[in-house]
Amino acid sequence: MRRYIVAVTLLTISAGCTGVAQKPMMALDAGDHLTVCSFNTRFLGQFKKKDCPALASILRDYDIVVVQELVAPPVDGIYPDGETYTADAEAAKFFDAMEDLGFSYVLSEEDTGTNDEIHSPTSATEWWVTFYKPQSVQCANDLPHGFLAADRSNNPDYERVPYAFGFRSNNQNVDFVLISVHLQPNNSPSARARRKHELASIATWITAHDAKEKDFIILGDMNIYTPAELADVTPAGYLSLNDECRPTNTNASSPEPYDHVMYNTTYTTEIDTGFDLVVVNLVEAMRGLWTNPNASYPGDPYDGNLFGQYYSDHNPVVFRMMVPSQDDD
């Protein structure tokens, strides 16, 4: 049975994850940790070559996996305007592989993109999805959640309107909101200015929604190029776990620190700063899982176009959160 919930907007706060087949919960103890992965999967739902079981297998041990670049829905459904959409077979393969490993998921109610037109199963728009292990966390719709803006197309503040996912540990001692982002690409002055505006807009949204919850974590493909840019665009009071700007793309000949995890150092004290941000080497991780006898592994030598079709052009990044001994704020 496929376990999923299509998330609702902030205007409609539901009591919990109705519609999700929950597994028996295992209470976490103080001192336990939650592992969170952020992964731009490169046009998930477009490439027939995508090796979904292999990708899912390297994510199996994480409690939460936040995915960017899902470009088509994995299930049939209805957009907020009443229009229907149809499941995409390629996207569904990844979801099936993740569910086989025990993940449930929260899916945005529609896609979002730069242009005036959305509701298109192409790389022009993206859906938001977060996978989670019900044994570790519950989705928490009593926390701020959903799209950060009502207009999901050609929004003045965002290239792709970000999406907030609320979660709570099963022992109820830590809750937090993950804001998944995919910011403006390219390294032109206008693109850098746009990314700075996007992050400032997210920070403003957080301030407007932090009466109940203080732990907001911004994560995903931020398309940041240099330490100087990172310092310039990071909202006041926030820190990136990739503050060293380690490369997160798979192309070793053109390394770029695209992916980041930002948090407010005053409020979000559950981030395990003793656990260094892990940048998973996707080329190495996939090498031993290559099973096609009729073709050479596209990571050896590296073929960026093919590797992105089979896997991605980004490495997954992983961080850890501590579970405190009592409820956090």
Topology of 5-11+31-322 in CATH? Deoxyribonuclease I; Chain A (3.60.10)
Burial class (CB in 10 A: 0-12, 13-18, 19+), 320: buried
pLDDT, tens digit only, all 329 positions of the chain: 333 344 433 322 232 353 333 444 455 554 689 999 999 999 999 999 999 999 999 999 999 999 999 999 999 999 999 999 999 999 999 999 999 999 999 999 999 999 999 999 999 999 999 999 999 999 999 999 999 999 999 999 999 999 999 999 999 999 999 999 999 999 999 999 999 999 999 999 999 999 999 999 999 999 999 999 999 999 999 999 999 999 999 999 999 999 999 999 999 999 999 999 999 999 999 999 999 999 999 999 999 999 999 999 999 999 999 998 766 65
- Does this model's pTM top 0.85? yes
Nearest to 164 by CA among 99, 220, 119, 101: 220
Nearest alpha carbon to residue 192 among 163, 220, 217, 224: 224
Delimit the domains of the chain by residue range: 5-11+31-322
Instruction: Tell me which residue of 174, 178, 89 sits closest to 131, measured CA to CA.
Output: 178
Cα–Cα distance measured from residue 259 to residue 63, given in angstroms and rounded to the nearest whole number: 19
Distance CA 241, CA 45 (A): 29
| Residue located via tokens 């009443």 | 82
Which 8-state DSSP code applies to residue 271? B
Quickly tell me which residue has 């899916």 as its tokens: 107
Q: Cα 213 vs. chain centroid, distance in angstroms?
A: 20
